């Protein structure tokens, strides 16, 4: 499962609203845990959180929180559950302002190769946990009322959604992710 995620999802550009929002939420749940833990629970998260459809999720209430806290298939952390519901409301606000979540987040993608150093080893890649872009995205989201969106979490989101290509030099997937990004039409603010 982890290899499939690496080879077919991680680092490939995404503009799909539901997938972007799901990843923002799951990265928040991952804080303090391993990604494989979240990946193994992803289907249960989707089932519990209305497939991360922000409109439906924004209407969750205390009864839904209680249901989720009893769901052993997900990470049962009240703060992260409440954050996900709050962030669903915030994503609706972003859509009204920017036209789409994609247009908003892709506005933080580094524009030049020098904004992101090439790394040649897994250890060097792991040493980079945040960038100026992830710090700016985090700061703006927090200003807008989002939670569980710290700079490290936002950098992991940017890596996963293809805003940056952190497949190391020599990785068998790096060129495919680079090619996908060159064909990708960055969502524009409407």
Which are the catalytic amino acids?
5, 27, 35
Contacts of 38 (CB under 8 A, 6+ apart): 26, 29, 30, 45, 75
Q: Are 29 and 87 in contact (CB under 8 A)?
A: no
Q: Are 184 and 178 in contact (CB under 8 A)?
A: no
Residue 148 structure tokens: 């569980």
Cα–Cα distance, 190 to 102 (Å, whole number)? 11
């Amino acid at each position: 499962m982890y290899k499939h995620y690496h080879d077919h999802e991680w680092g490939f550009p995404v503009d799909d609203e539901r997938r972007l929002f799901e990843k923002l939420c799951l990265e928040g749940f991952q804080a303090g845990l391993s990604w494989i833990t979240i990946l193994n629970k992803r289907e249960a998260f989707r089932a519990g959180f209305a497939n991360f459809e922000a409109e439906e999720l924004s209407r969750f209430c205390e009864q839904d929180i209680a249901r989720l806290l009893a769901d052993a298939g997900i990470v049962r952390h009240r703060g992260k559950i409440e954050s996900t519901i709050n962030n669903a409301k915030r994503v609706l606000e972003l859509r009204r302002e920017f036209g789409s979540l994609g247009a908003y987040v892709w506005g933080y993608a580094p524009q030049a190769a020098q904004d992101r150093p090439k790394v040649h080893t897994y250890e060097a890649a792991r040493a980079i946990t945040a960038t100026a872009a992830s710090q700016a995205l985090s700061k703006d989201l927090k200003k807008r009322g989002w939670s569980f969106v710290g700079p490290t979490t936002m950098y992991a989101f940017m890596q996963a959604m293809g805003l940056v290509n952190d497949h190391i030099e020599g990785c068998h997937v790096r060129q495919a992710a680079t090619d996908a990004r060159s064909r990708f039409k960055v969502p524009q603010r409407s």
